[in-house]
Structure 1
């Protein structure tokens, strides 16, 4: 029960207030990051706070003495480099250290270009990528479950989808969930986990123990958009749904306006790999009359309700006709 309450608090909080300096204070380990995770490492690299026993790889083509060479941060947090000497790196983010080293090299090189990547971590890392409160690389410290680490990273962002994905290297064993999918070619297994299942159940089986180099990712929530002659144009979050019906979307958008052309509703659907959209014509009037099936809206669809020229004319002239009725009645009576 405590775990469910804790996760519920994390999800409501949305973002964390832990600093990178606080995250860096973890026991030393010493595992090398595999090359297959270089892309993920680089994605979160600038925010990683370095510490003793981390090993960095420096790229600076103008300075061959340090270019493409690994250097280890010593127990006091310093790194010894040719030309510039001893520089403090512990407690600094990779990005901050790049700026510091660039500044030092300006004394010897005109306009130096410096890029630093992590060659080895002081602890076995896990990667939180995407819509989390504080995405980044986090060293594992002992046995840590998914819920515990979600607390450390500040939960998910308010605009995140309600499902998260975990990717694990097969050499760390199979994913202990029945819906896990293995990819023998890439030597990984993946699983999608519902956040509602984590928060609503006591000791949920989805609260798995994380393994080194696990990649936990959360995407931004997918939406559909309703515009045109509706009560209130809306951006509707799908959450854990893969689709939403036209009737549901229009209801959430406040229904039709009096001038809506219900028979000519259009769905504008993205065409994969292009910046164009396909147009699907729907007779929503027949849908609401139960004469045709409802139609599913997919992520990023735009539901557009056009106006009817006839309805618009009646809307403009109707009030005028009504206001003239008392005058017409009086005139007819007066002529009698």
Structure 2
């Protein structure tokens, strides 16, 4: 009788265990499988368009950050190191080729006009020459202007102009520079890259360094690497400019059957899907399904329409891009597909992994069942 009870108990426990495993829905795993992702597509009643990556899709989605300086910044001429500015104090000596000159005292051939300050409007006043614009001119340019004005009053005047005091033009360098501070615009440091070099270069990776230039109420941004690739981006500086160097904050997330699951920052200005996977150690050889590499992204309307070949979409669209690394051109497509800020890359598990997990769960449960049944049956 006890043996019959033991067999009955084992059968009941085994049946309950198998029923539990079969009805549990999903076993522990890193995320949805390939079939479940496709089930969420628009054609299946979901809210995401699922698109296989090919050269046409790669070209339509190859959008990189539109950074760079405007023509107003790029066309500004280099500022002279000796340019006169409001607040500067000037000294003038005027020689007249007559015994009784306009500005000279009796018996003197020269007149010293000392400590002429440039007012906030950039102007100075010289007797018989009138009110003149000094700011923006070099001492040599101002000398010619004064000479021309006085030449109408006295024959062949000779003028000497020199700056007595004044800090000259300066810029502020802050952020991720080698040295932060206020630096003068001098002959060797009239351009942006020269000033950055004078400030000790950058203390962050040059590949992801952003250079912001604030001029008045306007701020424009460019990648540091672009300043060297495109010489027109190496703009001339202006008095009062602020140069702020910061690290690129763009990032993407990698999940699923990869070497690591993490939020990753961009290590270069442009990064491809292959490079993004490489940053986390590539696919997990024991888990990954190379036919199911997905990129989840919210696409602007115009890009979504280009990808889908439609003109009836409205607003931002959810797109899921599929990369099959086993296809003949799969690796090339992944190499050319550009990852953008905020993307989520998800690698599905191979079907055999789910099968092995189910088998392990069943036989693991059966082992526990046998132990329990033995205990129950005595």
Question: When the two structures are superposed, what TM-score results if normalisation uses the length of structure 2?
Answer: 0.35
Q: Which has the larger radius of gyration?
A: 2
Q: Does 1 or 2 have the higher relative contact order (CA < 8 Å, sep 6+)?
A: 2
